[in-house]
Amino acid sequence: MIIKLNDLGQVYLVCGKTDMRRPIDSLAYLVKSQFNLDPFSEQVFLFCGGRKDLFKALYWDGQGFWLLYKRFENGKLTWPNTENEVKA
């Protein structure tokens, strides 16, 4: 299956740090319980670790979850700690 980026819904940044050991079900529960959003929507949820050198993307394609994991070998992400720091 191919994910077409122009078919994706909104992208949500989960501010602050997330425990990167969390599996799919735990991240989906976090989306539902803390943000009152539907993890089964066709939206993308991005999570960042405490060292800001890796992130996970959670996406439901209608048949199952995709969990994309990216680790930067050199450098770090500029990741917002609060909603006030989020920019378009």
Residue 49: which residues within 8 A CB-CB, separation 6 or more?
A: 17, 18, 19, 20, 55
* Domain total of the chain: 1
Q: Quick check: is 62 in a domain?
A: no
pLDDT-flagged residues of the chain (< 70): 1-5, 86-88
Domain that holds residue 22: 8-49
pTM of the model: 0.84
pLDDT at 30: 93
**What is the pLDDT, as a whole number, of residue 35?**
87
Instruction: For residue 85, tell me if it sits in a domain.
Output: no
Q: What is the pLDDT of residues 23-45, one digit of tens each?
A: 999 999 999 998 899 999 989 99
3-state DSSP assignment of residue 55:
strand
**β partners of residue 59:** 44, 66
Question: Is 12 among the domain residues?
Answer: yes
